[in-house]
A and B are shown apart, each in its own frame.
Chain A
Amino acid sequence: MLSWLLAACQWLAATPLGTGIRESDNLFSVIETIHVLDIAGTAGVIAIVDLRLLGMLFSQSEVPEVLSPLVKVAWFGFALMAASGLLLFGAEAADLYANPAFRWKMLAIIALGLNQWIFHTGGPRVLAAVLSLGLWLTVIVLGRAIAYVS
């Protein structure tokens, strides 16, 4: 199934960058630390945005007042998360290809993107906030599960 994707993953893992990260004593751990701490901050900020949309936090402030500064931070955090995640993936692409937790995590991230797109094109904000909270929880849980399933 999807042999071209497996071949691409094997090629990625064999690149000097993938090999360098995998074989370094500390590089993988350093990138992983950045990735995990960034997820903690970014997912937390997005959760606060979602809770504001649900009227559960900062209800005395207008929605744009809360969203405007936090969404900028969230985008920056997401970019850093994607960059560090790609580097981690590059180092273990061949193994991660077969990992069910990783596959479900990627699907959850795609669903998050779709949810954002629907929200920005005028979709119902309460539903978007609930879905976002649920999907971020799923992404974090599956991210940890990668190490425990094969």
Chain B
Amino acid sequence: MSPLALCEWLSHTTASTAIRASRWAFAIIEMIHLLSLAVFGGCLLVLTLRVIGRFLAPRALHDVLLDISVAITSSLGVLIFSGALLFADGPLRYYANTAFRAKLLLLLTATTLGVATRRLAMREAGSPIVSPGLKAVSLFTVALWLCAGIAGRAVGVL
């Protein structure tokens, strides 16, 4: 099934129709999306501060990651789920939206690099020093997340 055919099928599903028909469903899902974005954004900011040595510098990056791993993974899960529901509101409209395509690509790359960062941090567990390689990958990943956020805002404008 092509992506376009998938979007067409999705636009006729019960969930998609129900979200479109409801006055408040889209707004409520958008609020949940934004709340999970706040938790995720806060975790990213804290990790960035740790990577550049401005937060809990005596502790290894891996330890800091472990402390907030539940918050990161659960907020990312809610972000993806609520994002999928928002997408279901108008799959064909989003399919044609350049900003949405860019956002998806950025999300995929950032998530993949996020997993890679975690693995690299695991190798350096026990040491409070963040290697230049890990620092570069982490900061690049954060920059990608920021770009995904900007692309997300642009979806409604373009």
- What residues make up the interface of A, taking CB atoms closer than 8 Å to B? 26, 29, 32-33, 36-37, 39-48, 51, 57-58, 60-61, 65-66, 69-70, 73, 136-137, 140-141, 143-145, 147-148
The answer to whether residues A39 and B38 also contact, given A45-B46, A57-B68, A66-B56 and a CB cut-off of 8 A, is yes
Measured CB to CB, the closest approach of chain A to B73, in angstroms, equals 14
Measured CB to CB, the closest approach of chain A to B72, in angstroms, equals 11
Q: For chain A, what secondary structure do more than half of its interface residues adopt (helix, strand, loop), or is it mixed?
A: helix
Q: How large is the interface on B (under 10, 10 to 19, 20 to 34, 35 or more residues)?
A: 20 to 34
Cβ of B41: which chain A residues have Cβ within 8 Å of it? 37, 40-41, 43-44
Is B19 among interface residues, defined by CB-CB distance under 8 A?
A: no
Measured CB to CB, the closest approach of chain B to A65, in angstroms, equals 6
Is B76 among interface residues, defined by CB-CB distance under 8 A?
A: no
Q: Is the CB of A144 within 8 A of B27?
A: yes
Which interface residue of B42, B49, B55, B146 has the most chain A CB atoms within 10 A? Answer: B42
- Alpha-carbon gap, A51 to B35, bound state (A): 15
* Contacts A33-B153, A41-B45, A136-B38 known; 7 new A-B pairs at CB < 8 A: A32-B153, A39-B38, A40-B38, A40-B149, A48-B68, A137-B35, A144-B27
Measured CB to CB, the closest approach of chain A to B18, in angstroms, equals 18
Is B157 among interface residues, defined by CB-CB distance under 8 A?
A: yes
